[in-house]
Amino acid sequence: MSEKSETSKAQPTPVTVACGCNLTIDSPEVVPDPRYTLMGTLTLIWGVTARPKAIDFRCSRCGKNIHTARDEKTIREHIR
């Protein structure tokens, strides 16, 4: 009975997302690639800094999209 209660309290192992090259978001080879709306793209052409709607994290080796971030905190951290 005690084994059953111990296993039910165990936390699941977190999943680490990686590309085929086995790189994660924390790897220096993974680059943030901002995605803009049409108006955001036009404002960039006019020379105004626009806020991206999302940031894709892509592997620079294989080009696979590892993660897409849409939260405000992550977007603010990666605005250039």
Instruction: Break the chain into its structural domains and give their ranges.
Output: 17-78
State the pTM of this model. Answer: 0.68
Question: pLDDT value at position 54?
Answer: 93
For 3, the 3-state DSSP assignment is: helix
The segments of the chain whose pLDDT lies below 70 read 1-16, 80
Question: pLDDT value at position 55?
Answer: 92
Element (H, E) at 64: none
* Residue 52 and residue 58 in contact, taking contact as beta carbons nearer than 8 Å: no
Taking the C-alpha atoms of residue 59 and residue 62, their distance in angstroms, rounded to an integer, is 6
